[in-house]
Structure 1
Amino acid sequence: MPQTIPLVQHLFRRLRQLNCHSIHGVPGDFFLRALDHIRPSGLNWIGNANELCAGYAADGYARAASQLRRHRSAPSPLVGALMTTYGVGELSAINAVAGSYSEHVPVVHLVGTPSRKAMREPGVRRPVHHTLGDGRAEVYAEMAKHVTCAQACLHRIKNTTEAAEAYDEVLERAVRASLPVYVSLGSDMVELPVPEDLLYKPLKLEPPKNDKSAEERVVHRILEMLQKSHAPLIIADGMSYPFDLQSEINELVSLTNIPTMSFTSGKGLVDESSPSWSPALPNTTDYSRGADLVMIFGPLLSDTNTARWATIPATDNTILFDQDSVELPGSVTELVKSKQVLRGLIDRLKDVKFGQRADVGVLNLTQSPQEVAVPSSSDPITQDSLWPTLSSFLKPEDTLLLANGTPLIGGRSLQLQPRSQVIASPIWNAIGSMLPSAQGIAAAKRNHQLPGRTILLEGDGSFQVTCQAISDIIRYKLDVTVFIANNAGYTYERWLNGMDAEYNDVPSWRYTEAARFFGAKDNDPSYPILARRVDTWGQLQDVLADEKVGDGKGLKIIDVVMDPKDVPEASKPGLSRASEALRSA
């Protein structure tokens, strides 16, 4: 007789096979018995303060090793995972799951539902808790369809073998599409038996191969344009991380020496010590007026990523490399996998010699440096002094999170060290997402012995939304360094509307006391806590030079006080355009 295991162990052990070693979430009555099987399945449970934090943390966990995959062969997470209860729990998390969908992050959202009978026979007079009380038991799964690429509602499937197979199919979709999926499990199904040998059937994770004739047609066209080009330009954008294009982009840059830039979300994709590298894109299209061919990899051309679309080059000489398509000049879109096209292109380029190329200066890629007076030790900290100065604090293999608002703007001027990764949210832009995401990244680094520090550049407004994630970081003794841009409110929004309006203020918190409030122990040698408030340039310099701040061990919270109205000078034209857009018809 074939060996069997509980159905829930099949779900959990499949996650382990995808190198996801931790599940985030908040316990709920409909899946409490399932939690008893997490450790026997080889996984860790990370109990979060709330489901929204759990969703963002699972997102961060999935992103943790995007940069490192090209540098190391050791296993790294292919998905993140969270588990919430039916209704109230899953709706608290759906904001985070939607963000994962918009930015192509593979997250598995497991939902514990009432029993199959209760789901089939919902009552109006005697409704089950966590429902809307109107008999619509499936309404939450319907909501999830809009923010996930596939759903496996196991409570609808009678045969447990078929349920396990349906689950496997959505896992395959999550990895291949790099998108979140939704899985529901009835409370009465947790320990139903399924054949253990189903786990030995390999998951189909590789995308289908391109049609060879279509791929060759695209490669030939790109080669023709490259050979005719005298001033080409490469732009690495943020979707190259989830689309796994990083190795190919760097090989292409190395082979061709084509000048290379990035939008903010694409920082870290290309080695910034390369002679082909130029800083992040300025606020106009001046950089591309001298380029006769622009190749954009992993395009995420949102308004916030492109200075309200001001930095998008003309389409008549631009090639867009998306996940499943390549768009050529003339609006010709070929349905081919970009990664496979790039591999073919690189193989061909190894035997190609190029003519004379314009250098970076001819393309006007660099901005004229502004004369900035060296601050004195007693001077206040400004946005234009803070972000470039933080570059000296960065080390190779750091993971740097740029929270929405002034950190996302100021982060453009950071100079990264080799093998660094930037996590930014250039399209979902959910306030508060990055603190719990940092928790998820730090958990993945621990699970997989991934190198580098986890450093968050956070605004005070963002911090106040998901501050409970500090308790999760402390509870699991994770290594996270947080710089809080304490400018007394929503400075980005001040420049859009209401410079002095009360609605752009946030409460004044004692951020350096957050760790103690959220449970950190004093003088714990196994988990050091360090909190500093800096008001002046001299205090900031002292903190950045402190080895205890820079070692990346334990929890560091640096409260950086700045003027409420101060923003980076280079961001003001874009903010002005965005403000005008709010008033336009």
Structure 2
Amino acid sequence: MPNSTNPPQIDLAAYLFTRIHQLGIRSIHGVPGDFNLVALDYIEPAGLTWVGNANELNAGYSADGYARVKGVSALITAFGVGELSALNAVGGAFAERAAVVHIVGVPSTASQKARLTMHHSFGDGDFGRYRRVYEGFSCAQVNLTDASTAAEMVDWGLRQCLLQSRPVYIELPTDFVQAKVSAERLEQDIRLSLPVAENDEVIENAAIEDLLRRLYAAKQPLIIVDGFAPRYGISEEADGLVRVTGFPTSTTPFGKGIVNETYPNFHGIYAGAAGKQVYMPWVNSCDLIVRIAPLNADTNTYGYTTLTNRNVTVEIGQNSIEICGALYRDLNTKVFLQKLLSRLDTSRLPCLDPYPDLGNMLQIRDQLPAPQSDAPINQDTFWLRVSHFFRSGDIVMTETGTSSSGGREFVLPPQTTMINSAIWLSIGYMLGACTGAAIAQAEQIASGTRPSSSRTILFEGDGSFQMSAQSVSDMIRNRVNVVIFLINNDGYTIERYIHGMKAKHNWVQPWRYLESPWYFGAPRDDPDYPVFTRRVTTWGELVEVLEDRQLRAGKGFNMVEVVMNVEDAPSSLKNLVLMVQKRNAGGPERMRTEKEVEERVQVTA
């Protein structure tokens, strides 16, 4: 008779994947390799689906996109060549705070101890080399070499991934895949074991009173919402503050889509020196600016020109709040904002002085005159006009470059998820990320947490498409529903504007993009997975395709190639590039001194 007092035992790989399932992950991205093959046998029994990407870079991009929709994802690669191929993608996830659990199948502990000359290594017996590389690309590293502590170490690594919203790195040696560990810890969901920070009441009350006093006294306030709000779990609170106060509100490029853009006090993206001339002087004269979850990167602050005077600025981070120079540390800012909103007396909020008429983007879009049907499509109004295509629940993704700049002009319906890159800017990322985002969206639709009518819509450049084109194979393999608008302007338009409008290196080989689904094995005449492709060169053709029933449904694989002029670009991109050119040349243009910029960036780093 077995001893009933002994806890049940489970294989380590089964423990790991069960934990991953408990996090809400249902799909595993990655590429098989001889050091992870046995571990892959445990995926399906744990209730998970193997995505199976064409290469590790795209697997990493896809895992990142999945994490930005569902909050956390999992990636599996092989030792050495596999993990290094994924490194660029994991770097982007680290920089922009996407929670990715990266599992690496590594050689057996015996091989490592003997310092054998193994394939995928440098032949010097140093098996910790890649782990040391990943120390700079992950918030925690776990090397599973002791069965007695393995389950605890897995839990610790996963907690760090969730708490810091950044990648973790887990090494799983081949001889530990089937190592026996106690299953007892699985009885408690790892999310329930996360520490809940309890704010010091004295510090919390002092901060709340300080901020309330400033909110009531403000004569010219502004709220700026940034892209780390979802990573910190404060998106709802940020939206609530905007709605309840009625204060003029903008977002950064990274923060677009977090705030309901139909609010009358929403005024689009604040672009500093690259934006409307009337807005920047007004912002600089504000007496209170609340910046929520900021990312003070040059690309997200338009060359730091959107950074504001510290003496009038409130910056709300993940675990701290700085109120006009006074720093309140070790605060759970989600709890702080909830209490702030509950205590906010709207009758004491100021009657606001008039602020610049920045124009309501919804009205501007709806008042656009109908374009000439035979006129070529241009960047000036494309991004506004195509916004008619969006509906609530959609995931809208814009690739770095022309699409990302143009997408800042989008008018988004409520509950739209916007995904872009704000600091890593690895072109080709978004095509790979689209796979993971679409898979995550399908899971949410199946669980009833996202409308069944929602779609994944990607705006991709032709140069970027060529960086990660094998992602199309991943999409078709997994039968994901996507709509891709491929902007074809014969190369790297953003690079042309920075330097070399006619330079040979800024052109790309012209591909027959619309044939890519067939090359990658898309089914023909399959009603369960239809394929729709169309090339448009004029406004009339674009209007017609946007009304197509299949495209609007978003089912299957859909790609519209939108041909634009080589030298055409959104005005926001042109303005930004002028600033980049001056900065690259050491130009003196600055909103404030280098020292002041450095201080502002360091405060919220």
- Letter of the structure 2 residue corresponding to residue 172 of structure 1: R
Q: Within the alignment, does 1:218 sit opposite 2:212 as a pair?
A: no
Correspondence for 2:12 among 4, 7, 26: 7
Aligned residue in 2 for 1:72 = none
TM (norm. structure 2) is 0.90
Which is worse superposed, 370-379 or 110-119? 370-379
* Residue 111 of structure 2: aligned partner: 118
The yes-or-no answer on 1:356 pairing with 2:343 is no
Per-residue CA deviation, residues 38-76 of structure 1 (Å, 9 max, x unaligned), is: 111111111000001111111111111xxxxxxxxxxxx
For 1:78 and 1:409, the matched residues in 2 are separated by 25
The one of 129, 138, 154 equivalent to 1:139 is 129
- Distance (Å, rounded) in 1 between the aligned partners of 2:97 and 2:571: 32
Relative to structure 1, is the Cα distance of residues 13 and 399 closer, same or farther in structure 2, using a 3 angstrom cutoff?
Answer: same
The match for 1:128 among 109, 113, 118 is 118
SS at structure 2 position matched to 1:265:
coil
Partner of residue 295, structure 1: 290
Number of the residue aligned with 1:69: none
Residue of structure 2 in register with 1:256 after alignment: 245
* C-alpha distance in 2 between matches for 1:341 and 1:386: 41
Give yes or no for contact 1:279–1:366 (8 Å, CA) kept in 2: no
CA contact (8 A) 1:287 1:364 kept: no
Counterpart CA distance in 2 for 1:540 and 1:100 is 34
Give yes or no for the alignment of 1:93 onto 2:89: no
Q: In structure 2, what is the Cα distance between the partners aligned to 1:464 and 1:274?
A: 38
Q: Aligned pair in 2 of structure 1 residues 366, 317: CA closer, same or farther (>3 Å)?
A: farther
Please name the residue that 2:302 is paired with: 307
Change in Cα spacing, 1:287 to 1:521, as seen in structure 2 (3 Å) is farther
Between 327-336 and 97-106, report the one with greater CA deviation: 327-336
Q: Distance in 2 between matches of 1:430 and 1:473?
A: 20
Question: Over residues 80-103 of structure 1, what are the superposed CA-to-partner deviations in whole Å (9 max), with x where a residue is unaligned?
Answer: 000000000000111111111111
Alignment of 1:182-581 (within 5 A): 182-203=169-190, 204-284=193-273, 285-330=280-325, 332=327, 334-349=329-344, 351=345, 353-358=347-352, 361-363=354-356, 365-366=358-359, 375-449=371-445, 450-451=450-451, 452-581=454-583
Partners in 2 of 1:407 and 1:339 — Cα distance? Answer: 32
Q: Please identify, of 100-109 and 276-285, the stretch whose mean Cα deviation from structure 2 is larger.
A: 276-285
CA distance in 2, matches of 1:539, 1:483: 14
AA aligned to 1:556 is N
The answer (yes or no) to whether the contact 2:320–2:327 under 8 Å persists in 1 is no
TM-aligned CA deviation for residue 498 of structure 1: 0.7
Asked if 1 retains the 8 angstrom alpha-carbon contact of 2:482 and 2:554, the reply is yes
Task: Give the partner amino acid of 2:209.
Answer: H
Distance 1:570 1:102 in 2: 24
What amino acid maps onto 2:371 in structure 1? P
Give the match's secondary structure for 2:515. helix
One-letter amino acid matched to 2:11: P
Distance 2:246 2:373 in 1: 42
Looking at structure 1, the residues matched to 106 and 575 of structure 2 have their Cα atoms a distance apart, in angstroms, of: 50
1:395 Cα deviation from its structure 2 partner: 0.6
Compute the displacement of 1:366 (Å): 4.3
Any residues of structure 2 matched to 1:45-64 within 5 Å, and which? 45-64=50-69
How far is 1:254 from its partner?
2.3
Cα offset, 1:134, TM superposition: 2.0
* Structure 1 residue 314, shift from structure 2 partner: 2.2
Going from structure 1 to structure 2, the CA distance change for 1:421 and 1:286 (only over 3 Å counts) comes to: farther
* 1:36 corresponding residue in structure 2: 41
Shift of 1:5: 1.4
CA contact (8 A) 1:491 1:567 kept: yes
What is the CA–CA distance in structure 2 between the aligned matches of 1:364 and 1:307, rounded to whole Å? Answer: 21
Q: Which runs of 5+ in 2 are unaligned?
A: 274-279, 588-605
Distance 1:410 1:190 in 2: 47
Between the aligned partners of 2:492 and 2:360, the Cα distance in structure 1 is 28
1:523-581 residue CA offsets vs partner (Å, 9 max, x unmatched): 11110100111111111111111121111111111101111111112332221110122
Please identify, of 571-580 and 200-209, the stretch whose mean Cα deviation from structure 2 is larger. Answer: 200-209
What secondary structure does 1:385 align onto?
helix
| 1:376–1:538 CA contact under 8 A, matched in 2 | yes
Q: CA RMSD in A?
A: 1.8
Partner letter of residue 379 of structure 1?
Answer: A
Q: Normalised by the size of structure 1, how large is the TM-score?
A: 0.93
8 A Cα contact 2:435 2:474, kept in partner: yes
Contact residue 484 and residue 558 of structure 1 kept, 8 A: yes
Contact 1:18 1:78 in 2 (8 A): no
In structure 2, what is the Cα distance between the partners aligned to 1:569 and 1:37? 51
State the 1:290 CA deviation. Answer: 4.2
**Structure 1 match to 2:596:** none
Q: Is the 8 A contact 1:286 1:364 kept in 2?
A: no
Between the aligned partners of 2:195 and 2:259, the Cα distance in structure 1 is 25
Which residue identity is paired with 2:122?
A: L
Q: State the distance in 2 between where 1:8 and 1:220 align.
A: 50
Quick one: structure 1 residues 373 and 396, their matched pair in 2 at CA, closer, same or farther if it must change by over 3 Å?
A: closer
Measure how far apart 1:426 and its partner are: 0.5
Shift of 1:135: 2.2
Is the CA contact (8 Å cut-off) linking 2:402 and 2:573 kept in structure 1?
Answer: no
Give a deviation string over 1:113-149, Cα, whole Å, max 9, x none: 00001122213xxx10000122221000011111111
- Mapped partners of 2:123, 2:556: distance in 1: 46
> Taking structure 1 as reference, are residues 531 and 467 closer, same or farther at Cα in structure 2, changes over 3 Å only?
same
Judge conservation of contact 2:494–2:573 (CA < 8 Å) in 1: no
Structure 1 residue 8 displacement after superposition: 0.1
Q: Deviations over 1:177-225 (max 9, x none)?
A: 1111000000011111112222113422244222222212211111111
> Any gaps of 5 or more consecutive residues in structure 1?
65-76
Moved more, 363-372 or 469-478: 363-372
Compared with structure 1, are the counterparts of its residues 98 and 143 closer, same or farther at alpha carbon in structure 2 (3 Å cutoff)? same
Asked if 2 retains the 8 angstrom alpha-carbon contact of 1:231 and 1:357, the reply is no
C-alpha contact (below 8 Å) 1:231/1:358 kept by paired residues: yes
> Is this contact kept in 2: 1:442–1:480, CA < 8 A?
yes
- Partner of 1:55: helix, strand, or coil? helix
C-alpha distance in 2 between matches for 1:224 and 1:514: 59
Percent identity, please: 39
Q: CA separation of 1:116/1:355 partners in 2, compared to 1, >3 Å: closer, same or farther?
A: closer
Residue range with higher mean Cα deviation, 93-102 or 250-259: 250-259
* Secondary structure at 2:62 match in 1: helix
SS at match of 1:185: strand
In the alignment, the residues of structure 2 paired with residue 357 and residue 342 of structure 1 have an alpha-carbon distance, to the nearest angstrom, of: 22
Instruction: Tell me the CA shift for residue 334 of structure 1.
Output: 2.9
The aligned amino acid for 1:515 is P
Query: Which residue identity lines up with residue 214 of structure 2 in the other structure?
Result: M
Equivalent residues of 2:405, 2:572 under 8 A apart: no
Structure 1: distance between partners of 2:496 and 2:376 = 20
Cα shift at 1:461: 1.0
